[in-house]
Amino acid sequence: MNVICVEHLTRDYGGGKGVFDANFQVSQGEVFGFLGPNGAGKTTTIRHLMGFLRAQQGRCTIAGLDCWKDRARIQAQLGYVPGEISFFDDMTGGDYLKFLERYRNLRGEHRKQELLDYFQMDPKGKIKKMSKGMKQKLGLVAALMHDPEILIFDEPTSGLDPLMQSRFVDLVAAEKKKGKTILLSSHMFEEVERTCDRIGIIRGGKMVAVDGVEQLRERHVRPYTVTLDSEELAAAFARDFHGTQDGCRVTVTTRHSLEEIFMNYYGGDGAC
């Protein structure tokens, strides 16, 4: 069952900026990685999914609901971490979370304290005095504390230290085991490789690849053949590099990392 559907989504800002005929789906219980450099169209696509923008052409749906027409119903049942988080800066972190509890009509036990402990966060201080990393933790707690079935993350570990980045990856794995549906936009290739089942790569507002991580790697396998001076040298080379020997010739197959695959789609100059 597809929970998130983007169908022929188009929003043209002019000058080649925007999203053009984008198509992809995220099925129930899947973690979908959304990759692309700044300005490629990732956040624009996510804003359509959240109902913040209306599609010029095409449509987006979440759980069968139209992302524009039914945005209030959709937003009530998902967790969202935006790329640029805005808070009520004069509030404390604790007051902000209490505000969300009232807004979402949360009663009884929920996940707030569990998540605060998990991310080692004390929410008592004023938000305006918090570091980037602390604000990011607060955004993660806010997005997850009502235990939504659908999660949309736009650069969720921005500003987090390596320990908290690792904890986030472990959290995504745990949420996936519960059957959650997750869209993860990230610049962190290791993060995506460790968490995602499938990946969509967007370039210039157009989807240039949508496939499983392993399938992407298989499509970018490269064989190399080396000729050595003797069969003995060839045998040693084949042994050391897991190659296949044919007399003095050895064929070695290499598999590219996700980062190398990504850079291949961007011609080597699409740094994130």
Q: 33 with 131, same domain?
A: yes
Return d(Cα 263, Cα 272) in angstroms, integer.
10
Domain of 139 in residue numbering reads as: 2-218
CATH number at residue 117: 3.40.50.300
| Angle, CA 198 vertex, CA 208 and CA 241 arms, to 5° | 90
Q: 72 with 115, same domain?
A: yes
DSSP codes of every residue in 149-216: SEEEEESTTTT--HHHHHHHHHHHHHHHHTT-EEEEE-S-HHHHHHH-SEEEEEETTEEEEEEEHHHH
pLDDT of 272 reads: 35
Residue 260, in any domain of the structure:
no
Q: Which residues of the chain have pLDDT under 70?
A: 108-109, 217, 219-220, 266-272
Phi and psi of 86, rounded to 5°?
-110, 130
- What's the number of domains the chain is made of? 2
Residue 208, in any domain of the structure:
yes
Return d(Cα 200, Cα 209) in angstroms, integer.
6
Residue 266, in any domain of the structure:
no
Q: Which of 218, 246, 264 is the last residue of a domain?
A: 218
pLDDT of 267 reads: 63
Residue 270, in any domain of the structure:
no
Closest CA to 79 of 207, 159, 173, 180: 180
Q: 202 with 246, same domain?
A: no
Q: 11 with 105, same domain?
A: yes
Q: 19 with 110, same domain?
A: yes
pLDDT of 220 reads: 63
Residue 171, in any domain of the structure:
yes
pLDDT of 99 reads: 92
Residue 26, in any domain of the structure:
yes
Q: 240 with 143, same domain?
A: no
Q: 82 with 188, same domain?
A: yes
Q: 128 with 240, same domain?
A: no
DSSP codes of every residue in 233-249: HHHHHHHHTT-EEETTE
Half-sphere exposure of 105 (CA within 13 A, CB side): 2
Q: What is the pLDDT of residues 226-261, one digit of tens each?
A: 999 999 999 999 999 889 999 999 998 877 777 777
Return d(Cα 45, Cα 54) in angstroms, integer.
10
Residue 53, in any domain of the structure:
yes
Q: 206 with 246, same domain?
A: no
pLDDT of 271 reads: 36
What pTM does this model have? Answer: 0.82
Q: 43 with 120, same domain?
A: yes
pLDDT of 39 reads: 86
Q: 183 with 120, same domain?
A: yes
Q: 177 with 246, same domain?
A: no
